[in-house]
Structure formats: C-alpha cells, structure tokens
C-alpha cells in the first residue's frame, strides 16, 4: 500500500525458515490479522507479490513471513510452516506483480490493527513516548503485539536495558491492561520499549532484569483509576507479580 509520499512499500517477505531462501515478497496481506471473534481464514489475499507461477495450487513448506522496513531489513517475523497458493492474477496494486489467494492452514493473529502498525514501524516506528495513546483503546493490543514482535526480532530479550531502577507510570493512561503494558514497556525501556505483555512475561522480565544488589521501584500515579477499569483481580495479579519479585510500589 502507498506510504505518506505516495510510493508503494513492499512490507512482507516469504522465506524458508532456517535457510532464509526467499520465495517472494508482497506489498500487503489481508485475512492474516483478524478480530479475535473471527475464525482463521482459508482465503488469505496477498497483494503486489513478486511470485509468478503457472500452475496452482502451489505449495511452500517451512515458511516464515517476515515484515520488512523501507530499507528491506526484517523487523518482524511469523512462522507458518506451510502455505498453499490457490490462485494468481495480475496485480491491481503493483504493475508487473501479482495478487494471490492463499491458505496459511489456520494460522492467523487476533490483532486487527497490526498490519497498520507494522507499516508505521517499517517507516521508522515511534519517536516519542506515548504515541500509542493517540489510538483508540481497542487498538492497544495490536500496538503491544507489534512492539513485542519487533523487540524480539531485533535480537533483544524480555528484560530491562539501561540502569534505571525507578519507573513512573500513570493509571490515567491505562484504560485497559494492554495500556498498562504499553506504558510500563516505555517507562522501563524507552520509546517503543517492551517489558512484558502478560503476567508470565512480566514475571520473566523482572527475573532477568534484577541482580542481587538492585531494588526496583514503581511510582504509580492514579492506580485506583486503573483498578476500576480493569477490575480488582487483574490489578491485584499485577501487584502480586511485583511483590513476588520484590518490586516496591508507591501509589500517588
């Protein structure tokens, strides 16, 4: 799809897992990122592909779907094992390319805005803290998903980078639990930072980040607003993880 300057950006690349052998690249995909209420589709649409086959169905095994930035570097990845191309036609998106109908055999992701956010990451990603807050709360899960995938695809671990041991978060920003993890990731690791996406991941990040001599402290403004939005159980479980990892929490 076009970027802000009107040029077409090739966002996806299909490769063989392990060897990195390129099968083809594509401009866009529909039917891969879905609403959580939708079942996985057997009719994935792939637009602006560099694939030219004369016979369908065509099968590809051990497939990894890479997300590429504008320099052609991989910034995200999904493993799909097998892909079948069922139909191919001349592309309406990219002259000289093809549009495909394919099956990923039930592989899909319940993050409907992820494709939009990947395109943003491909162009450079967030440059300021809190950019996720300009989107509706229903989009926070998709933003967090892209943050997490890009974080690990860049070779980072789920842990604290840097020396900061005191982190500030504000419950006003956290209209749902995904907002909490978006805010915490940036509080710990800066713009676009990741520090957990669920209770288990949060516990793991804290475990990997702390040495015997360090003590972490959370300064949590407006915690009651957060608890009212997500419920006592969810808020309590988060506090339990902090307590178990000996993180001091101060409420303001």
pLDDT value at residue 6 = 44
**Cα gap 78→10, rounded to integer Å:** 16
Overall fold of domain 126-251? Barnase; Chain D (3.30.370)
**Cα gap 129→114, rounded to integer Å:** 19
Domain ranges of the chain: 12-111, 126-251
**Cα gap 148→30, rounded to integer Å:** 21
**Cα gap 126→206, rounded to integer Å:** 24
**Cα gap 29→103, rounded to integer Å:** 12
pLDDT tens track of the chain, all 252 residues? 344 444 578 999 999 999 999 999 999 999 999 998 888 888 899 999 999 888 999 999 999 999 999 999 999 999 998 999 999 999 987 889 999 999 999 999 999 999 999 999 999 999 999 999 999 999 999 999 999 999 999 999 999 998 889 999 999 989 999 999 999 999 999 999 999 999 999 999 999 998 766 789 999 999 999 999 999 999 999 999 999 999 999 999
Identify any residues that bridge with 13 across adjacent strands, giving them in sequence order.
25, 66
Left (φ > 0), alpha (ψ -120 to 50) or beta: where does 57 sit? Answer: beta
pLDDT value at residue 66 = 98
Predicted structure pTM score: 0.94
pLDDT value at residue 213 = 65
pLDDT value at residue 7 = 58
First vs last C-alpha separation in the chain: 45
According to DSSP H, which parts of the chain are helical? 114-122, 140-153, 177-189, 199-209, 223-230, 232-244
Q: What is the pLDDT of residues 105-122, one digit of tens each?
A: 999 999 999 999 999 999
Q: Look at the alpha carbons of 200, 204, 195, 230 in this order and tell me if their dihedral is positive or negative.
A: positive
pLDDT value at residue 106 = 92
CA dihedral 229→230→236→237, nearest 10 degrees, is -160
Confirm if 197 and 159 have CB atoms less than 8 A apart.
no
pLDDT value at residue 155 = 97
Q: What share of the chain is helix, strand, coil (3-state, %, to 5)?
A: 30, 30, 40
pLDDT value at residue 152 = 98
């Amino acid at each position: 799809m076009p970027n802000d300057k009107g040029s077409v950006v090739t966002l996806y690349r299909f490769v063989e897992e392990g060897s990195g052998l390129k099968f083809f690249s594509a401009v866009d995909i529909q039917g891969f990122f879905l609403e959580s209420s939708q079942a996985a589709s057997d009719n994935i649409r792939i637009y602006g592909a560099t694939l030219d086959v004369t016979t369908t169905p065509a099968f590809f095994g051990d497939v990894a779907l890479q997300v590429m930035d504008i320099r052609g570097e991989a910034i995200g990845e999904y493993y799909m094992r097998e892909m079948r191309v069922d139909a191919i036609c001349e592309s309406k998106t990219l002259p000289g390319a093809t549009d495909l109908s394919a099956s990923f055999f039930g592989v899909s992701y319940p993050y409907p805005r992820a494709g939009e956010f990947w395109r943003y990451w491909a162009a450079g990603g967030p440059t300021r803290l809190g950019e996720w807050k300009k989107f509706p709360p229903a989009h926070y899960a998709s933003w967090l998903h892209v943050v997490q995938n890009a974080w690990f695809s860049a070779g980072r671990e789920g842990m604290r980078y840097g020396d900061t041991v005191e982190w500030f978060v504000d419950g006003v920003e956290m209209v749902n639990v995904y907002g909490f993890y978006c805010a915490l990731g940036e509080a710990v690791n800066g713009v676009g930072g990741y520090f957990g996406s669920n209770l288990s991941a949060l516990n793991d990040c804290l475990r990997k980040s702390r040495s015997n001599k360090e003590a972490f402290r959370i300064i949590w403004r407006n915690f009651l607003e957060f608890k009212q939005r997500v419920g006592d159980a969810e808020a309590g479980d988060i506090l339990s993880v902090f307590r178990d990892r000996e993180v001091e929490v101060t409420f303001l």
